[in-house]
Amino acid sequence: MNGNAPQISPDSNEQTDKIRFLKGSAISIWQNSGDGGSNWTRFANSLWPFRYFGVKAIRGKYNIDTCSDFWNNYERDIKLAADIGSTTLRFSFEWARIEPERGVIDMEAVRRYHQMLDCMAAHGLEPNATLWHFVHPTWFEDAGGFTKEENIPAFVEYCKRCFRWFGTRIRLWATFNEPTCYMFLGFIVGIAPPGRIFDLVAAGRMLSTMLKAHVAAYKAIKAMPGGDKAQVGLVSHHITFEAQADGILHGVAKLLSDWMTYWWGWDVLEHWMLTGEFVWKLPVLGVWQQWRDPEGKPPCDWWGINYYSRGIFSWYLVPSCRQQEVMTDMYYPIYPEGMYRAIKRCSEFGIPMYITETGIADARDDRRAIMIDAYFKEVMRAVAEGYDVRGFYYWTLLDNLEWATGYTMKFGLYAWEPDGSVDRKLKEGSKTLVRYFRTLPDSLEEVREAARKAQAVLGADLGVEQELKEEGFVRMGSEGKLLPDGKGPGEPGGVGMVAIG
């Protein structure tokens, strides 16, 4: 093992001047590299869920076997991550690469991760590691995956192995990425493995097992040598859904929105975090599963906020947006205020927070700059008000395979096309993030100070706004959003020069 690991300093409130505010991007290894045998690779190559109609699981011409291949191009890509002014990189350990068969470890994969960590250290990037990002080995899936509590020890064993190999090199660990998102996509709408549709009972069982697995993995890591220095957290998706308007016409949309918020949002996790109690409700039938951890609130050192937007349903149940909002290429609009709200709500947990993912699917790259600017400002507003946010990760470094939507959703800071036409080109809109990263100090204390000052002087924003204006963006409306001069407001994918509010 190479000894170039970044300094590990334990978080402590007495030493806030030593704590860094981390700036970076986030990736998951599978979405850039694929693998030989995992639940997702198998699913991606299947015809499920509409196999009888010949519908493929992944949209578009290209599948994960065509990818930018971070696994082999990690030196190049880690440098690109550093080039944007980052001080950190969030990435995932891929269990299926490490333990392709039960009990069989691929030491080449372990070595590759050490090489990646060496490379991050050489570029001054602090690693932030996620142990499970939707992907696990097929042998685990076939044994029932996270729907069975008897499978928890296999996951914990894998986590312990990772900590044994990499524990001295990594301070920030997350057990899981977005348990509710995985549950919703895999067990309710069936567009992710295991491809079940409306299996709400299994969905609850899976979520319950995963939360128990978090606690078990947390305790196991903490009990290991060096475990006391590790910061073990959990990353959640923070989305809410609403009907486009009130009234009878929107009744069904309201009902659907409430359930979508319950399934995909963080209501269940929030209750569990605050009380140690897990409650799973079914429509009509009510509470279906319930337990309380005798030890009370679950252990968790930090909370990862993945925030993109809120969903709005029209009365005829089509994803929409409010008047004067701008849609992204996904089914939701740009909604900066939701970032602040998510931070505020998560602060109830009383632990440090990291924005572990935020970003935009924007193939035309004409909304990325305003999204970054507006979302970043909401984070700074929260920081100025004293909320304990300690980092910001943009999703994602390079255009990658966006799960079931394939390569159609362009989240990357760098453009990459599977047909070979574009290879790692920094997008214009991404330059706003680069400016923020370069302008923002590294220490948490200084970031807090800068945020407070920027907040005190209306419109001051660390100097980035002026540059945006020079590029043709205009500040409009009572909420003072920056929008590019252009097309009509509120139309899907359209961008408007409009007065908001």
If one asks whether residue 357 binds ligand BGC (CB under 6 A), the answer comes out as yes
Minimum CB distance to ligand BGC smaller for 39 or for 254 = 39
Instruction: State how far the Cα of 192 lies from the Cα of 318, in Å rounded to an integer.
Output: 21
* Secondary structure in 3-state letters for 206-248: HHHHHHHHHHHHHHHHHCCCCHHHCEEEEEEECCCEEECCCCH
If one asks whether residue 401 binds ligand BGC (CB under 6 A), the answer comes out as no
Q: How far is the CB of 28 from ligand BGC (least distance, A)?
A: 5
If one asks whether residue 91 binds ligand BGC (CB under 6 A), the answer comes out as no
CB burial readout 358-389, b (16+ within 10 A) else e: bbbbbeeebbbbbbbbbbbbbbbbbbbeebbb
Q: How far is the CB of 26 from ligand BGC (least distance, A)?
A: 8
Q: How far is the CB of 361 from ligand BGC (least distance, A)?
A: 7
Instruction: State how far the Cα of 85 lies from the Cα of 422, in Å rounded to an integer.
Output: 22
Candidate segments 57-65, 73-81, 175-183, 282-290, binder of ligand BGC by CB under 6 A: 175-183
Q: How far is the CB of 134 from ligand BGC (least distance, A)?
A: 7
Q: Which two tokens stand for residue 140?
A: 């685990």
Among 58, 81, 98, 181, binds ligand BGC (CB under 6 A): 181
Minimum CB distance to ligand BGC smaller for 86 or for 177 = 177
Instruction: State how far the Cα of 315 lies from the Cα of 312, in Å rounded to an integer.
Output: 10
- Which of helix, strand or coil describes residue 398? strand
If one asks whether residue 306 binds ligand BGC (CB under 6 A), the answer comes out as yes
Instruction: State how far the Cα of 164 lies from the Cα of 173, in Å rounded to an integer.
Output: 13
Q: How far is the CB of 32 from ligand BGC (least distance, A)?
A: 11
Minimum CB distance to ligand BGC smaller for 126 or for 178 = 178
Minimum CB distance to ligand BGC smaller for 118 or for 362 = 362
CB atoms within 10 A of CB 160: 17
Among 97, 237, 377, 381, binds ligand BGC (CB under 6 A): 237
Q: How far is the CB of 147 from ligand BGC (least distance, A)?
A: 21
Among 388, 402, 461, 465, binds ligand BGC (CB under 6 A): 402
> Facing residues of 482 across strands?
475
Among 94, 178, 461, 465, binds ligand BGC (CB under 6 A): 178
Q: How far is the CB of 34 from ligand BGC (least distance, A)?
A: 14
Candidate segments 173-181, 189-197, 415-423, 460-468, binder of ligand BGC by CB under 6 A: 173-181
Q: Answer whether the bond into residue 179 is a cis peptide, omega within 30°.
A: no
Size of the site for ligand BGC (CB under 6 A): 10
Q: At what angle do helices 444-456 and 368-384 cross, to 10 degrees?
A: 100
CB-count burial class (<10 Å; 0-12, 13-18, 19+) for 459:
exposed
Q: How far are the Cα atoms of 135, 404, 501 from residue 311, in angstroms, in the given order?
A: 25, 18, 19
Interacting residue ranges for ligand BGC, rule: CB under 6 A: 28, 177-178, 181, 237, 306, 357, 395, 402, 411
